[in-house]
Copies of this chain bind each other. A is one copy, B any other.
C-alpha cells in the first residue's frame, strides 16, 4: 500500500506537508496542495485507517449493539431494517459499522463496553429488546457517544418510534369500524410494550371502550407459536372479542392460524390487527391492517444524530426524537 512517505518522496516535500494537504489544513499553498492531491490520486493512495486511528483516537467505526432474547439477531426484521438504513447513512459520512457484544477473546472475558474500547469505536447505537442488562448500563454510563433506539435514558439521545400514538391510531380505526369488544395481546415487558399499552388504554378511554382483564394477555414479541397459544386461549372464553390486537405482524401469523384452526375466519368472524408493517403482512390474505414503523427514518436519524454527537460534541444536545409511522389499512378488520 502506498503511504504518505511515498507521495512525499515523489513530490519532494515532507510527509507533514502531504498529510496537511490531504487533510485540508490551511498552511499549505494552493499550488502544492493541488499537486499533492493529484499524485495521491494517481498513486492510488488511501490513508491507513489503523495508523490514523492510533494518532487521532478516531476510527470512523460505529458500534452496533443488537440483542434480542430470542437470539434472532439480524433475522429480526425490525432490527435488520433499522440496521440497514443506519449503515447506509453512516457510510455516507465515511463511517463503517462493527457489531459489538460481550465475548471471550483469548480466554479473557470482555464486556460489550470493553469490546467498544478495544475496537475504539467512535460511537454506539443500542437497539435491544431488553435494556435492563448490566452490559447496557455499562455502555450507557461510559464515555462514548451513544444513541438508543426505542428506549429513553437520561442524558442520552434516543430515537423512538411513536408507539403510543401509533397504537392510538390503530385503536381509533378499529373503533371507527364499530368494534367495542377488543382483546389485546401485548409483547414482553419492555419500554415499547408499555408505550403501546398506554396508547391502547388512552384511546380506549377516549372512545369509551371497556377493557376487560380476561382479554388482556401478555406474550412474546415475534413469536408466532406463543401468539398461537394465547389466541387459542382467548377463543376459549365464553364471550369472544370481535377484534384482537396482536403483539406484532410476525406474531400475528400465529394468531391468525389459531383463528383459522378454530374454524373461524378473518375478518368475517373475528378481526385482527398487527403492528410493524413488515412485508409479509401485506402478502397475507386478507392483508393485515397494521401500523408501519418508519424503520428507514429511524435508522438514518440514529446514524445522523450519533455522528453529530461525535463530530460536534459541544453543539449537539441529547434529545428524544420521535419518528412517526404510518397507518396501513389492510382487510383484516371487519366494518360492523
Q: Which residues of A contact B (CB under 8 A)?
A: 1, 41, 44, 46-51, 53-54, 59, 61, 73-75, 77, 80-81, 83-84, 87, 91-92, 94, 96-99, 101, 103, 105-106, 108, 110, 114, 117-120, 224, 253-254, 257, 260, 280, 283, 285
Contact = CB atoms under 8 A, between A and B. Distances in A.
Contact of A285 (B99, B110, B257): B257
B53 A50 contact: yes
A50 B46 contact: no
20 contacts: A41-B108, A46-B110, A46-B114, A46-B118, A48-B54, A49-B118, A49-B120, A50-B51, A50-B54, A51-B54, A74-B83, A74-B84, A74-B87, A75-B81, A92-B103, A94-B105, A96-B98, A96-B99, A96-B119, A253-B280
Contacts of A96: 98-99, 119
A235 to B, nearest CB: 16
A1 B47 CA distance: 24
Given A53-B50, A83-B74, A91 B103 contact: yes
A54 B59 CA distance: 13
Nearest to A40: B108
A1 B74 CA distance: 31
A108 to B, nearest CB: 7
Nearest to A46: B118
Given A74-B74, A75-B84, A97-B99, 19 more contacts: A41-B108, A44-B114, A46-B114, A48-B54, A48-B120, A49-B119, A49-B120, A50-B50, A50-B59, A50-B120, A51-B54, A74-B80, A74-B83, A94-B106, A96-B119, A98-B98, A253-B280, A257-B283, A280-B280
Closest 4 CB pairs of A and B: A50-B53, A74-B80, A50-B54, A253-B283
B91 A283 contact: no
Nearest to A87: B99
Nearest to A93: B105
Contact of A75 (B1, B50, B80): B80
A247 B292 CA distance: 28
Given A96-B99, A103-B91, A105-B94, A118 B47 contact: yes
